[in-house]
Chains A and B, each alone.
Chain A
Amino acid sequence: MALGKIKADTLEHSTAGTVDTQYVVNGSAKAWILFDGTGTIAISDSFVVSSITDDGTGAYTVTVTNAFSTSNYCVAESLAGSSAVACTYNNYTTNTSTAYKIGNRRVETTAFHDAKRANEAFFGDLA
């Protein structure tokens, strides 16, 4: 590979102590995406994502390029509704190691609602 490489088990700061590099690797996001879920869905920026699927109103599937080792990975997310209504969001069906489904719902009706700005960060072990 043309890139440089540093091999180390521990990083040490002059005063703030040390941290295991394994901790850094495990704690880093392995994929992320920012998209607008209204209109013609558009991906603003991303990392390690191959596509997003518009599954219907307020429902989306994010598919990653590098599969996770299992479907038990963690996703930190926030979605803002397309209008001034309170929304809640969740993973509404089964995931796979490459595909994660997210649904954005109105709090008062639980009906799916398009997300104006959706942010997702994926954490876990890669395959």
Chain B
Amino acid sequence: MTDTPQFKGTHLFDRLCWAKEKLDGVQSDYRVVYEDSVDECAKILVPDPNWMACALQGGIIPPVWVYHELAKDEAMPDFKKHTRGFLLHETEPMPAMTEEEAIEYLIMKDCPQSVWRNWDTGNKPKLVICRKEQLPGSREWRNAWKITEELSVTDLAA
């Protein structure tokens, strides 16, 4: 396995260039199904193979709280441009994760916070991690896909 160079303080883009050259992509079978609006169909998050390779390798991607800080800045009414991009580059990168830990990280990075912070409140889960073969094989009724109401939060947590 290729050792990750000491990347703290290296621009994230440069780290990702290194990873693109040195690491083989990892196609994950995991998918994240979530609902962020009652008026819309379920959405399905697909992990990127190159990103997954970085997560499993360790020492490349920043902690997820960095993205939350940038999102907070961007949500300010007087936001013009990011001035704390250094957080992406100068924060100690995450150590190697398991595939499952990487999916949890990705949920917190790329799903709306309103979904994952309260995934288990309400009458049914707002978010489910599954394998891709568990998704419907046909997209004919794609815009009607919903998380089943028969799925209980306690079943998922068990």
Which residues of chain A have a CB within 8 Å of any CB of chain B? 1-3, 30, 33, 38-43, 45-57, 61, 63, 65-71, 96-99, 112, 114, 126-127
Contacts and interface: CB of A to CB of B under 8 A. Distances in A.
A68 B31 CA distance: 26
B36 to A, nearest CB: 10
B18 A3 contact: yes
A42 B46 contact: yes
B29 to A, nearest CB: 10
B13 interface: yes
24 contacts: A1-B6, A1-B7, A2-B6, A40-B31, A43-B48, A45-B25, A46-B48, A47-B50, A48-B13, A49-B48, A50-B48, A50-B51, A51-B48, A51-B51, A51-B109, A53-B43, A54-B45, A63-B110, A66-B12, A67-B67, A67-B70, A69-B81, A69-B82, A98-B71
Given A97-B82, A127-B70, 9 more contacts: A1-B6, A43-B48, A45-B25, A46-B48, A48-B16, A50-B106, A57-B139, A71-B74, A127-B85
Contact of A67 (B14, B61, B85): B85
B115 to A, nearest CB: 11
Interface in B55-89: 61, 67, 70-71, 74, 80-82, 84-85, 88
B125 interface: no
Interface centre among B18, B61, B85, B109 (most CB of A within 10 A): B85
Contacts, number: 119
Contacts of A33: 48
B139 A114 contact: yes
A57 B143 contact: yes
Interface residues of B, number: 45
A60 B84 CA distance: 28
Q: Which are the 7 A-B pairs with shortest beta-carbon distances?
A: A127-B85, A2-B5, A127-B82, A54-B44, A50-B51, A63-B110, A69-B81
Contact of A65 (B5, B6, B25, B51): B51
Contacts of B151: none
A43 B110 CA distance: 16
Contacts of A51: 45-48, 51, 106, 109-110
